[in-house]
């Protein structure tokens, strides 16, 4: 339903987030991502990258502001309609969040089973994908018996098995070497070419510089204005900006940029 | 059915392990209660059948043997010609004396006391006893009919009360089972919060997660119920054996009708259904409260 979405996969309008009674960790976040775009979400540790992703994959509700996902206002979407939205999002969690009591196969099969796919279809697709990421020989292995890199592959396979429209990855290159990191980026770019919108949170600025693509630059909970990042992969730039902050905030965010 | 595949590591939960044993115990008790109820039921039905088909007619002694004979003959003729009466026989004086001896002592046997005349009557089930009484008393005014009804009604009421009690006990035990399942399920939800969150984020409906808890609870229940039933069968056999040895005449034969047998097979199914439905509702209700 692209017409419903206006060509935008996700839109944030003046979104704020606080954990419990704490301070706002995200303030006045406004942006939208065109379908098929590829973005890095960068910023120093503690800037709120993970929190922003959590809002995007519907693990959290914003304290204020409007989030529109696939053309639907999240605040007015009933709980029972959320699973259908979530099935169109693939997430590579920072700590993978694999289910340790299940085999690699069952972990990757989860999104398909949850969506009610037939077991022989599940089998075919999962084996295919696990072979493709190079885990053909570890189909029955449980995550704790796999290396960090192998676990990450399982996590990525689980994120993409359902052909998501939106792929979110939180520090996916966090604990692998540079060579692996580039191969991983290549994988994400392949997916992007097939039409999936990709957002990768990272604080590895070197990687961002080498790979290119648009940047969403977060600092202390809001977006820094980031001119001149457009069109690297032929996709339009995000509409990212500090919206209505005080001068104090602007000062802080530009200070963050310089760092 | 006994080992369903689940995405949640429910079969490793120590808190779920007690569930089959509790269900085994409940099904064991429920089997005994059910057997007791079925037994009392057939006992009461037997009494009703036996008693409703017979009456005794009593003609009080007047002190004048000839008059007694005359009134007895009139009663016999009247009864035998009444509709629905299958048989009407005079109980012999010796037998009446024998019946009364425990109360009145050997004097009755010697014929020193005036004895009432007794007539044993067998009737069809649909005979109106009141009608028969009126017809009889038109001929012999001081004859009385004892249709054993009052006595029987009391016994039957007692039996029904005991059955009601057994039913209430069964209901209570079902509620206790459901409560146990609620507790085990809530604990499971808390323990596996992380896994459940991942399942949600992957796009699982609450019903998908509920199904896993329901399947697990059902498997526990079936296993427990099988154990409970397996223990109940020899126990009931032993009770039945002892009862027939102690009081063979008093008890109707302890064989179960096909309906009785199927009632026992319903127990594990009921336990499984209660467990599955309770687990499902618990999960759905708990998850619906989540943001
Ligand atoms: N679950 C949480 N509860 C409370 N505070 C949190 C939680 N997660 C993150 N925060 C706070 O929110 C801010 C942003 O954190 P995070 O989104 O993890 O940033 P990043 O991923 O960019 O490092 C930090 O100040 C952090 O302490
Ligand atoms: Mg983070």
**Which CATH code fits A1-88+164-244?**
3.40.50.300
Contact with chain B for residue A118, Cβ under 8 A: no
First to last CA, chain B: 33
Give residue B287's pLDDT.
94
Q: How far is CA B285 from CA A165, B206, B288, in A?
A: 31, 9, 5
Query: With 0-12 CB in 10 A as exposed, 13-18 as middle and 19+ as buried, what is B63?
Result: exposed
- What stretch of H or E contains A223? strand A222-223
> In this structure, which ligand is nearest to the CA of A49?
1
Q: What pLDDT does residue B113 have?
A: 73
Distance CA(B85)–CA(A74), nearest Å, equals: 83
Locate the domains of chain A by residue range.
1-88+164-244, 95-163
DSSP symbols for A10-46: EEEEEEEEESTTS-EEEEEEEEEEETT-EEEEE--TT
What contacts B32, CB < 8 A, 6 or more positions away? B232, B235, B236
pLDDT in tens for each of the 259 residues of chain A? 444 557 889 999 999 999 999 999 999 999 999 999 999 999 888 899 999 999 999 999 999 999 999 999 999 999 999 999 999 999 999 999 999 999 999 999 999 999 999 999 999 999 999 998 889 999 999 999 999 889 988 999 999 999 999 999 999 877 677 777 887 888 889 889 999 999 999 888 887 887 777 788 888 777 875 533 333 333 333 443 333 333 333 333 333 333 3
Would you call B110 an interface residue with chain A, using a CB distance cutoff of 8 Å? no
CB A173 within 8 A of CB A204: yes
- pTM, 2 dp: 0.76
Whether ligand 1 lies within 6 angstroms of the CB of A147 is answered as: no
State pLDDT tens for residues B213-251: 999 999 999 999 999 999 998 898 888 788 777 766 655
Kindly report the nearest CA distance between residue A190 and chain B, in angstroms: 22
Average pLDDT of span B262-266: 84
For chain B, state the CA radius of gyration. Answer: 31
Q: How far apart are CA B239 and CA B33, in angstroms?
A: 13
Q: What is the pLDDT of residues B70-95, one digit of tens each?
A: 999 988 988 888 888 888 888 888 88
To the nearest 10°, the Cα dihedral for B2, B7, B11, B12? 160
A46 lines ligand 1 (CB under 6 A): yes
- A44: its two tokens: 């120093």
Of A219, A171, A222, give the one whose Cα is nearest residue A44: A219
**Nearest CB partner across the interface for A86, out of B194, B195, B202:** B202
**pLDDT tens figures, B57-68:** 888 888 788 888
């Amino acid at each position: 339903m692209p017409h419903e979405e206006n060509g935008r996969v996700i839109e944030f309008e003046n979104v704020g987030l606080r954990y419990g009674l704490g301070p706002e960790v995200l303030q006045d976040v406004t942006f939208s991502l065109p379908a098929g775009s590829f973005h890095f979400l960068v910023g120093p540790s503690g800037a709120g990258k993970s929190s922003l992703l959590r809002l995007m994959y519907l693990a959290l509700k914003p304290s204020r502001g409007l989030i529109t996902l696939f053309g639907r206002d999240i605040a007015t979407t009933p709980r029972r309609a959320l699973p259908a939205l979530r099935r169109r999002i693939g997430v590579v969690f920072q700590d993978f969040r694999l289910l340790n009591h299940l085999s690699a196969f069952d972990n990757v099969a989860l999104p398909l089973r949850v969506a009610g796919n037939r077991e022989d279809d599940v089998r075919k697709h999962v084996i295919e994908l696990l072979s493709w990421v190079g885990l053909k020989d570890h189909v029955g292995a449980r995550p704790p018996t796999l290396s960090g890199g192998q676990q990450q592959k399982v996590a990525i396979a689980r994120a993409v098995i359902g052909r998501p429209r939106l792929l979110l990855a939180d520090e996916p290159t966090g604990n692998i070497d540079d060579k692996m990191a580039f191969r991983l980026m290549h994988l994400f770019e392949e997916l992007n070419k097939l039409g999936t919108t990709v957002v990768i949170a990272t604080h590895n600025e070197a990687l961002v510089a080498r790979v290119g693509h648009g940047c969403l630059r977060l600092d202390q909970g809001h977006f820094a204005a980031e001119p001149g990042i457009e069109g690297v992969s032929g996709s339009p730039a995000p509409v990212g900006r500090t919206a209505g902050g005080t001068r104090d905030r602007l000062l802080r965010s530009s200070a963050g940029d310089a760092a | 059915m006994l080992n369903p595949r689940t995405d949640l590591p429910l079969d490793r939960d120590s808190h779920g392990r007690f569930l089959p044993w509790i269900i085994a115990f409940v099904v064991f008790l429920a089997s005994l209660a059910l057997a007791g109820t079925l037994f009392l039921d057939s006992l009461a039905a037997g009494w009703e059948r036996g008693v409703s088909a017979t009456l005794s007619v009593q003609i009080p002694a007047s002190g004048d043997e000839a008059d007694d004979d005359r009134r007895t003959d009139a009663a016999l003729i009247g009864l035998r010609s009444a509709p629905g009466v299958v048989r009407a026989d005079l109980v012999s004086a010796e037998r009446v004396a024998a019946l009364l001896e425990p109360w009145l002592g050997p004097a009755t046997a010697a014929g020193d006391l005036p004895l009432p005349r007794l007539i044993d009557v067998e009737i069809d089930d649909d005979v109106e006893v009141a009608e028969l009484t009126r017809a009889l008393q038109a001929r012999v005014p001081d004859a009385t009919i004892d249709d054993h009804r009052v006595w029987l009604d009391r016994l039957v009421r007692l039996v029904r009360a005991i059955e009601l009690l057994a039913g209430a006990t069964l209901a209570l035990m079902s509620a206790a089972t459901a409560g146990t399942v609620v507790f085990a399920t809530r604990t499971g939800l808390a323990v596996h919060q992380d896994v459940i969150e991942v399942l949600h984020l992957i796009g699982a409906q609450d019903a998908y997660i509920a199904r896993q808890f329901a399947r697990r609870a059902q498997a526990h229940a079936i296993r427990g119920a099988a154990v409970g039933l397996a223990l109940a069968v020899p126990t009931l056999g032993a009770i039945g054996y002892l009862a027939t040895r102690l009081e063979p005449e008093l008890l109707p034969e302890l064989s179960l009708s096909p309906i009785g047998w199927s009632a026992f097979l319903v127990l594990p199914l009921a336990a499984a259904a209660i467990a599955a439905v309770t687990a499902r509702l618990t999960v759905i209700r708990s998850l619906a409260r989540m943001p």
